[in-house]
Amino acid sequence: MRKLALALAVASALAGCTNAEKGAVIGGVGGAALGTAAGGNDVRNAVVGGAIGAVAGTLIGAAADRRGYCRYRDRHGRIFEARCR
């Protein structure tokens, strides 16, 4: 019952956040869990994994906030954003 109440509290707290903020939180928690699982039960592994996950989640969430824009690659391999065709 406490797990359900905690899950509802977290979900309601994230309801007003942007996609970048949600991505940062979810990526940070997931990265910390993966860092601990991969590197052993050490605080340093959780911190590094959480930081990497938070940055990745923020970037992915920020890309999702730009509705109507798509990512393209030009003939030189550079990636840019422009209005979707």
pLDDT in tens, 34-63: 888 887 777 888 888 888 988 888 888 877
Q: What is the mean pLDDT of the chain?
A: 81
Task: Judge whether 45 and 35 are in contact, CB under 8 Å.
Answer: yes
Q: What is the DSSP string of the chain?
A: -HHHHHHHHHHHHHTTS-HHHHHHHHHHHHHHHHHHHHH-S-HHHHHHHHHHHHHHHHHHHHHHHSTTEEEEE-TTS-EEEEE--
N-terminal to C-terminal alpha carbon distance within the chain: 48
